[in-house]
Amino acid sequence: MFGKNLRAARLEKGYTLEHLANLYNSVFVGAGLSKGTLSKYENGKQEPMVSVVANLASVLNVSIDYLLNNKTPREPTEEEQNRIKLMNMLDQLSEEQRRVIENLIVLEWKQQQRE
């Protein structure tokens, strides 16, 4: 389960094994995690220490629970949090106010398409 979830989290970020290893080693100086070791984790050929699981979760912005059992979803990114806030604000507007906002967005989008 861990390997499958690690791979899914890595691919969701668009990271190669090498990129994740380099990122991990830049955040956790002296760690020395290699792409080969990551590959072994993902393929179930080696189990990481608990501290490595925690560090990988941090680097990939997912919960430790997600990596271990996929029951807890990853933490939303800042962009996703902003979208949720925006949707909540829109939900509090009247239908007419929402149409005005929608029209402004459409006008802005069309303007950008012309540029």
Nearest Cα to Cα of residue 8 among 32, 41, 34, 37:
41
Structure confidence by residue, pLDDT tens digits, 29-87: 888 999 999 999 999 999 999 999 999 999 999 989 889 986 655 667 788 788 888 88
Give helix 17-27 / helix 35-42 axis angle, nearest 10°. 110
Structure confidence by residue, pLDDT tens digits, 50-64: 999 999 999 999 989
Q: pTM above 0.75? A: no
In CATH, 2-69 is 1.20.120.1200: no
Please state the domain extents for the chain.
2-69, 78-114
pLDDT tier at 88, thresholds 50, 70, 90: confident
Mean pLDDT lowest for which of 20-29, 82-91, 93-102? 82-91
